[in-house]
């Protein structure tokens, strides 16, 4: 399957499992994950990346991204899993994912 088979040229979004998914969602997630995992990234950039990831999670789950791929960074993976439906109420308390674990940012 090719990208054009999933989302044809000229179309900016599609519906997957009942969720509207905009073109570029997975690419944006990857870019934001890199920021979250970069210990040298400014706190403001990491906070913006976390917000953007959190907003994209329903679309990423509708695509089945986390059923096929696992986030390598343990802290970022735990942060994402904590935001899964039914995973409690741990919502963005300023924690920052980094390769060495969560740090307050």
Tell me, yes or no, whether 14 lies in a domain: no
* 3 pLDDT higher than 70: yes
Question: How many H-runs (helices) and E-runs (strands) does the chain carry?
Answer: 5, 4
Is pTM, for the whole model, over 0.85? no
Asked whether the predicted pLDDT for residue 75 surpasses 50, the reply is: yes
The answer to whether position 11 is within a domain reads: no
Nearest Cα residue to 79 out of 61, 97, 103: 97
Parent domain of 52: 22-85+93-104
For residues 2 and 47, the model is more confident at: 47
Work out how many domains the chain is built from and give that number. Answer: 1
Check residue 102 and give its pLDDT.
Answer: 41
Residue 77 lies in a domain: yes
Using CA atoms, how far residue 105 sits from 36, 43, 47, 102, in Å, is 11, 6, 8, 9
């Amino acid at each position: 399957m090719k990208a054009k088979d999933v989302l044809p040229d000229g179309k900016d979004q599609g519906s997957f499992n009942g969720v509207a998914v905009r073109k570029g969602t997975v690419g944006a997630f990857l870019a934001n994950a890199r920021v979250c995992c970069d210990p040298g990234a400014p706190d403001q950039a990491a906070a913006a990346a976390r917000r953007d990831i959190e907003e994209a999670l329903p679309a990423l789950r509708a695509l089945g991204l986390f059923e096929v791929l696992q986030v390598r960074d343990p802290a970022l993976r735990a942060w994402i899993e904590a935001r899964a439906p039914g995973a409690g109420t741990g919502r963005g308390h300023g924690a920052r994912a980094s390769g060495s674990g969560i740090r307050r940012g």
